[in-house]
Amino acid sequence: MNSPCLLLSDEMDRANGAAIDAIAAECARPLQRLALSAVDADPARLDAVTGAWYSRDLFTGGGPTTPSRATLRFFERADAAPRLTWLHVMSAGTDLPMYRGAHARGVRLTTSTGVTAAPIAQTAVAAVLAHARGFPGWLDAQRRGDWAPRYGAASPADLGGQTAVIVGLGPIGLEIARLLRAVGLHTIGVRQRDEACEGVDETRVYADLDALLPRCDWLILCCPLTPLTHGLVDAARLARLPAHARVINVGRGPVLQEAALVDALRAGRLAGAYLDVFEHEPLPADSPLWTLPGVWLSPHNSAASLGNGTRDVGRFLQALRGWLQAG
């Protein structure tokens, strides 16, 4: 049996080499670590590579559809490794363009799903709370220097008893549900499997979505991009939402048809939106989403958190142990 050889970034090799070696020793599998700089110096060494780790430091400075120079460099090497059988990636999903080469070759991919679930969920729920409590209006008044309290009928509606339809019940969706239930919202989770989920008040399948939308105060999208979810929320489905409803997308941009969302917002058929992901990234400078009232944007950055790196390493080491034990 040939010894496994792991391709990884120089930063991860320096910071985590000892931990990697310790797991290899526990598994009684001698493992060679091969940093990117070593491959740059001697490309022939790629012939030995059987596994690769696409870590968060390589992703930094780019995006899912606009890869960093370090990402391009890494995948140029990984895709050229003739014996590569395993690739661990820092993302939650396996649908990013840079993974196509591995998919085409039948390379096994493992992911860091759940690593960023807490910060993404906290960001989404922060948007719910801020919009629900009236912060957009208060901040507008502050910019105008206008002392403008809201009283009577202009006061925000109570959050307790409102309904959130959460599309996607992976780690992000379940954490969003947990936090929203804590402040009194009724949560309806939508997923493919027709099985009850304890993390939400109701569990439904995608075929039920049209019937659910009229009940919805908050439509929260946190599902992966698949043939089923591509263009899932179109003009017809947006039209089924109440005019006071808001849309939150922290999943994948193409799940939501942006042109239809813009039309609904301009016509006053929706109250607002928080978007972290977009059909085209970076969001074009001429997109009307930048300036539409009631719309908050973040640059595919809702996951940002200083703890992600540590969690990502932990998930990789767990996957590494499984790879080595599988032989």
pLDDT tens across 117-127, in order?
A: 999 999 999 99
Neighbouring C-beta atoms of residue 314, cutoff 10 Å:
13
Strand 108-110 relative to strand 163-167: parallel, antiparallel, unpaired?
unpaired
How is residue 133 written in tokens? 């409590």
Confidence (pLDDT) at 118: 98
Quote the Cα angle for 94-195-159, to 5°.
85
Confidence (pLDDT) at 64: 84
Q: Which structural domains are found in the chain, ordered by start?
A: 5-115+307-326 (3.40.50.10490), 117-297 (3.40.50.720)
Confidence (pLDDT) at 261: 98
Residues with catalytic annotation? 252, 281, 300
How is residue 92 written in tokens? 């939650």
Confidence (pLDDT) at 234: 98
- Contacts of residue 168, defined as CB under 8 A and 6 or more positions apart, other chains included, come to 190, 191, 221, 222, 223, 224, 251
How would you classify residue 20: left for phi > 0, otherwise alpha for psi between -120 and 50, otherwise beta?
alpha
Distance CA 206, CA 22 (A): 45
Distance CA 98, CA 270 (A): 35
Which residue, chain included where needed, has tokens 């202009």?
A: 154
Element (H, E) at 187: strand 186-191
End-to-end CA distance of the chain: 9
Confidence (pLDDT) at 65: 83
Q: Pick from 172, 190, 174: which is nearest to 182 by CA?
A: 174
**Residue 88 β-bridge partners:** 53, 110
- Three-state DSSP at 164 gives strand
The pTM score is: 0.94
Q: Which residues of the chain have pLDDT under 50?
A: none
By the 8 A CB rule, do 252 and 224 touch?
Answer: yes
Distance CA 137, CA 217 (A): 19
